[in-house]
Structure 1
Amino acid sequence: MSHNKQNSIFTPILVGGSLILLIGFAIRSTFGLFQIPIAEQFLWARSEFSLAIAIQNLAWGIGTPIFSAFAEKFGDRKTIVIGILLYAIGLLISSSASSPEAHQFLNVIIGFGIAGTGFGPILAVVGRAASPDKRSLALGITTAAGSAGQVVGPPFAAALLNIMPWSSVFVVFAIISLLTIILVPLLKSNPKISKNDVRENLSDALMQAIKDPSYAMLFLGFFSCGFQLAFITAHFPALIAEASSPIVKNSLISLVCNSTASLGALSIAVIGLFNIIGSISAGALGKNFSKKYLLSLIYLWRTIAAILFIMLPITPLSVIIFSVVMGTLWLATVPLTSGIIAHIYGLQYMGTLYGIVFFSHQLGSFVGVWLGGLFYDIYGNYNIVWWVGIGVGAFSAIIHLPVKEIPLVNRMHPRFT
């Protein structure tokens, strides 16, 4: 019995980390639903709150390597507690913010809160605690927990917005975020770090990675992932509300939503639901197949799906089909990207090295969200930004192909391989 528990993949660390990600991502995935109510209340241009969300994504990206390095030096649990507190404080104060500048500043705090409770610190602690044969799947399951948050977050926020103003919803989210602090004690681990993973210090690990062209390719390739995901999270509900054909009465879709506005929230939830399947599947496939080729395929399929969606008439059915396909591919890149970084560069500084690559993801997020709002205000639609997303997706499909998926220590000392 004890042996089975010891070898179970569902350890307290995985469960605790997964729940923190689930709740944090449930809240984060709802910000697109506040675009219209906040803009209408304050008579803002769409780009104002879009910029706040874009800044949040950029702060998340900047904060991830910082929080990851802090965790590696001072401890995972201390770092995650700081992230939880920043997240809750940012949400609470945002509930009373009434100017674009206030929302944009507070989303810096929220972004740092997400960084402290997000993929960087959580995947690092889960990855270090997992055995090599279970690591890829453990990362996939933990990533899928974030996807599960995306399933429950938008419908929950939409339901709250039907009974209370957006400002009260922010207060509710601040309280929920703060409650995740009770999960932190579960994240105590004895990292399974091998001799090959040990570096003299962080600067050595960083210099070795920065000099490696494969690291630069992973950095550049992750940009499009952030661009596409953040644009869809922030703008897809509004795009659907305005561009989709009406929902036909007595149709199957009409059983779960009665307007294109509610269809937007449903689409984000569907993406999150199928992302659970995609993330776990990617983690499992990453154990037996080349991670770089899986990443290239994911970006290729995303590109094809985006082209078909924008070229064909936008209907409730096409929205659901696109959401299913995109959801399956959504965060499937995360366990593969974090896994390939752990495989090539080792576990000791995995959090920081992944965090730097994740900054590229969030830089893409910033550009995608901000350009979406800016171009909407200029042209009255999202067509140009959508095609930009297609272009960067195709770029990522290509740039992962030359990555050398061999541990760096083996390449530096080939006689020991």
Structure 2
Amino acid sequence: MHAPALPLARVLACGAAIVTLSMGIRHGFGLWLQPITQAQDWGRADFAFAMAVQNLAWGFFGIFAGMIADRFGAFRVIAAGALLYAAGLLGMAGSTSPWAFALFTGVIIGMAQAATTYAVIYGVIGRNVSAERRSWAMGIAAAAGSFGQFLMVPVEGLLINFAGWQNALLILAAAALLMAPLAWGLREPGLASAAAARREQTIGQALREAFGYRSFQLLMSGYFVCGFQVVFIGVHMPSYLKDAGLSPQVASYALALIGLFNVLGTYAAGALGQKLAKRKILAFIYFARSVAIVLFLLAPLTPWSVYIFSAVMGLLWLSTVPPTNAVVAQIFGVAHLSMLSGFIFLSHQIGSFLGVWLGGFLYDRTGSYDEVWYLAIALGVFAAVVNLPVRESAITRSQPQAA
């Protein structure tokens, strides 16, 4: 028994719009670092800690969001995530202590992101798009997240400048609620009964199989590095540039350029994943990131060097997402795709936690981001190496496992 597939155009349109809003809002959070810490008289480590908690919560709760979405569909999960997102942004605006800020910005918004981003959306794509077009479709969804960054970051910068940082968060809370009606387009009637009929494994069996498989472990290791690099840069680069005497507009344009060029990079990675070995695509992306950071640190820091670096990093930013998730679907199938993608993403978010937290911690200790930049370079080389041995072929099961 199979649930009828949703129309491809609807899946891509609604999924892309949801990811645009969810990822677009969170990509601009670095713009709030200095306004909030200065207004509240907090250290940068206080803001960085809340963002680090957010990334951990996003990864941890993404596993359970994926389990529920695999079983009952994405609609309820995304609608609940939209409500949590709005509540978290309201709490972020009203927090007067670092601990309250960490609760709303960290835990609540992290839970919301778990329910409204890639693991859940990719589960819908995996179930409703044929294997021949799956990597391409995942590239479309990831490119939407990048477009969200390009679209939303300059808007968020303008909102902060003209409405104030608190009112800007209230406006974004209203925008986050739009994800709930968009989720209606991803309803999968009959999913629960169809999923039960086609599922060869229980959740426990699927997890034991995945975590015992070497290629899954290697993909998790690489994704850890992805999280470390992109969240450190996304959150701390605005302050890094301002410390160097560049205007806040340079940081806003830099983050927007990352988003714009990532539209191209993620789409290209998804499309190339239909033709080339995905492990080689991933190895190239991670190594190229390290080269780009080295050249950025060696070059004189000017607005143009920032814009060139941002464009190059944009091509490499979320381009790891389509090939990584497509490999998971290719190896293990789609029955538990959202859950397994959630575990892969948890590794990404542990890396994100360390990247954003170490950025704030080491800056407060040393007055510089240099040590974290060097660590990001070394980790990129490591990720390139560990992705090369990944086996992309479907796992061989000796016999169906009773669910």
Cα drift, residue 154 of structure 1: 1.3
Q: 1:103 corresponds to which residue?
A: 101
Q: 2:254 corresponds to which residue?
A: 267
Alignment of 1:238-257 (within 5 A): 238-243=239-244
Alignment of 1:202-213 (within 5 A): 202-213=203-214
Which of 80-89 and 7-16 deviates more?
7-16
Q: Residues 8 and 289 from structure 1, CA distance in 2 versus in 1: closer, same or farther, beyond 3 angstroms?
A: farther
Give the distance between the partners of 1:194 and 1:87, measured in 2 at CA.
29
Q: Please say if residues 125 and 137 of structure 2, whose CA atoms lie closer than 8 Å, have aligned partners that are also in contact.
A: yes
Q: Please say if residues 9 and 138 of structure 1, whose CA atoms lie closer than 8 Å, have aligned partners that are also in contact.
A: no
Q: Please say if residues 127 and 138 of structure 1, whose CA atoms lie closer than 8 Å, have aligned partners that are also in contact.
A: no
Correspondence for 1:376 among 351, 363, 367: 363
Is there any run of 5+ residues in structure 1 with no aligned partner, and where? Answer: 1-5, 247-259
Q: Please say if residues 273 and 327 of structure 1, whose CA atoms lie closer than 8 Å, have aligned partners that are also in contact.
A: yes
Is there any run of 5+ residues in structure 2 with no aligned partner, and where? Answer: none
Q: Please say if residues 296 and 400 of structure 1, whose CA atoms lie closer than 8 Å, have aligned partners that are also in contact.
A: yes
Q: Residues 263 and 10 from structure 1, CA distance in 2 versus in 1: closer, same or farther, beyond 3 angstroms?
A: farther
Deviation string, structure 1 residues 344-366 (Cα, Å, up to 9, x no partner): 11111011111101001000001
Alignment of 1:59-74 (within 5 A): 59-74=57-72
Q: 1:337 corresponds to which residue?
A: 324
Q: 1:18 corresponds to which residue?
A: 16
Cα drift, residue 7 of structure 1: 11
Q: 2:131 corresponds to which residue?
A: 132
Q: 1:249 corresponds to which residue?
A: none
Correspondence for 2:304 among 317, 328, 340: 317
Q: 1:252 corresponds to which residue?
A: none
Q: Please say if residues 24 and 114 of structure 1, whose CA atoms lie closer than 8 Å, have aligned partners that are also in contact.
A: yes
Correspondence for 1:389 among 364, 367, 376: 376
Alignment RMSD, CA only?
Answer: 2.0
The residue type paired with residue 222 of structure 1 is Y
Cα drift, residue 390 of structure 1: 0.8
Deviation string, structure 1 residues 126-180 (Cα, Å, up to 9, x no partner): 2211112111100000111000111012101110111122111111111100122
Correspondence for 1:52 among 13, 38, 50: 50
Cα drift, residue 10 of structure 1: 4.8
Give the distance between the partners of 2:363 and 2:152, measured in 1 at CA.
25
Cα drift, residue 182 of structure 1: 1.2
Identity of aligned residues (%): 39
Cα drift, residue 67 of structure 1: 0.4
Q: 1:115 and 2:117 equivalent?
A: no
Give the distance between the partners of 1:120 and 1:285, measured in 2 at CA.
21
Q: Please say if residues 137 and 280 of structure 1, whose CA atoms lie closer than 8 Å, have aligned partners that are also in contact.
A: yes
Alignment of 1:222-233 (within 5 A): 222-233=223-234
Cα drift, residue 243 of structure 1: 2.0
Cα drift, residue 392 of structure 1: 1.0
Q: 1:284 and 2:275 equivalent?
A: no
Q: 1:358 corresponds to which residue?
A: 345
SS in structure 1 opposite 2:309?
A: helix
Given the two structures, how large is their TM-score scaled by the length of structure 1?
A: 0.90
Cα drift, residue 391 of structure 1: 1.1
Cα drift, residue 194 of structure 1: 11
The residue type paired with residue 11 of structure 2 is I
Deviation string, structure 1 residues 276-298 (Cα, Å, up to 9, x no partner): 00000000000011001110000
Give the aligned length: 392
